[in-house]
Amino acid sequence: MSEGVLRRMVWADMSAEARSRLLHRGLDDIFDPELRRSIGELVDDVREHGDAAVCRALARFDRIDLEPHQLRVSADELARAAVSPEVDAAIDDAITHLRAFNERLLERASDWSFESEPGLVVGEKVTPITSAGLFVPSGKASYPSVAYQLGVPAVVARVPRIALVVPPVPGGAGEVDPAVLVVCRKLGIEQVFRVNGPAGVAALGFGTESIPRVRKVVGPGSPAVTCAQVEMQRHGVATMMLLGPTESVVVADATADPRLLAADLLIEAEHGTDSAVVLVTTSVDLADAVDVELARQLAALPVVRADAARASLGVNGGCVFVDDLVAAAAVANAYAPEHLQLAVADDAVDATLELLVDAGEILIGQHTPFSAANFVIGCPASLPTSGFAQVSSGITAETFLKRTAVARADARALARMAPSVLALADHEGFPAHGNAIRERLGS
């Protein structure tokens, strides 16, 4: 095996400890004791002092001094926000696709009922949550894509009250990324606040003099932002687990184009030195060709992106060799990545796809790169990381819906169920449960 960008591992030869190290990512930074202590203090400060604490966090962490009355983005600022015609058209394109995807989801998430036995009708009533808070990161780059990936599902779900927080542009006087404001204007989101990330999460959870309290907070961010979301769960705020440092897995066989494969590996790899990218393949020759392409394409990236990619594909990820695609699917499921691409022969796609069950998204073929899904395709792109794809899903309209069970029994159905209810009530020692039945039956 030649040396290259990719750290190389053979799954069959890896010890349990080595496998665990590969699969374990993201959580140590998020749950670092010192970070948890620091975020806990910040959360308590926001709970006790509201806007004043939010402004303190902006001054301390973002070096931006604002007064409480300046936290909310004004209607005039929203109206004046502008981007280039090309970016404006791209945002419209993305919103159109996201609306279509989420509106179809909403159609499938409708009320339902059926008669489970004569006289007993059961079902569910589906309604939106009352309020939602959206966190959009800033700092490393401009992220209008995050704003619409979170905002469109909430709007389509008809959440009555939506608030969005976004850190101000670094080095400015409190300005907010205009691209994010353009998204908010297009979606009709009027409650927008310039707030430091962790403090913003706390402010949304508690409510302050300026920032409304919401019941659910979602949005990707740094370990500090994610830690703040976890901390707010102790205070009764619903959050998503977890939207941390980005990660991707590509499952490929010898038929994959190494040039395209390298390009696709670099998509998520360039995000940061905490990202993780893994190629799972049956072919050493393919890995060698990909390494050559990676070196060539890395040379064309800005230094900061190239350094991030080398960490993502090296110490954080790499190439895992397997004997066949069945083993490849098993590795991918164990990893449970945020993003997964399948780059295999056409006649192997269906069988391999059938085996893949744990991933935030699955993109099929080399004409479906992660960047297209991140920006335009319309499937959710705010996805669970750190293995949580094994138990949770991406942010869609369903994230902002709740289901309430509904049942109606007539006298005939209740009389039929009565012996079972009485037997269980007596067995578990709840006489009032049984008496409610006996009063109706006169026994």
Residue pair 64/174 in contact (Cβ under 8 Å)? The answer is: yes
Amino acid identity at 164: L
∠ CA(25), CA(28), CA(30), 5° rounding? 100
Cα Rg for the chain, rounded, in angstroms? 25
DSSP run (H or E) holding 223: helix 223-233
Look-up: residue for tokens 């094994």? 390
Q: What is d(CA 70, CA 275) in angstroms, rounded to the nearest whole number?
A: 34
Q: What is d(CA 388, CA 242) in angstroms, rounded to the nearest whole number?
A: 7
Residue 64 CB neighbours (<10 A):
21
Residue pair 268/317 in contact (Cβ under 8 Å)? The answer is: no
Over the range 177-197, which residues count as b (16 or more CB within 10 Å of their CB) and which as e? bbbbbbbbbbbebebbbbbbb
Q: What is d(CA 237, CA 284) in angstroms, rounded to the nearest whole number?
A: 48
Q: What is d(CA 6, CA 315) in angstroms, rounded to the nearest whole number?
A: 9
SS3 string, 10-63, reads EHHHCCHHHHHHHHCCCHHHHCCHHHHHHHHHHHHHHHHHCHHHHHHHHHHHHC
Active site (catalytic) residues: 338-339
Q: Quick one: DSSP state of residue 215? A: S
Over the range 400-438, which residues count as b (16 or more CB within 10 Å of their CB) and which as e? bbeeeeeeebeeebeeeebeeebeebeeeeeeeebeebe
Q: What are the CA-CA distances from residue 272 to residues 21, 56, 358 (Å)? A: 19, 27, 24
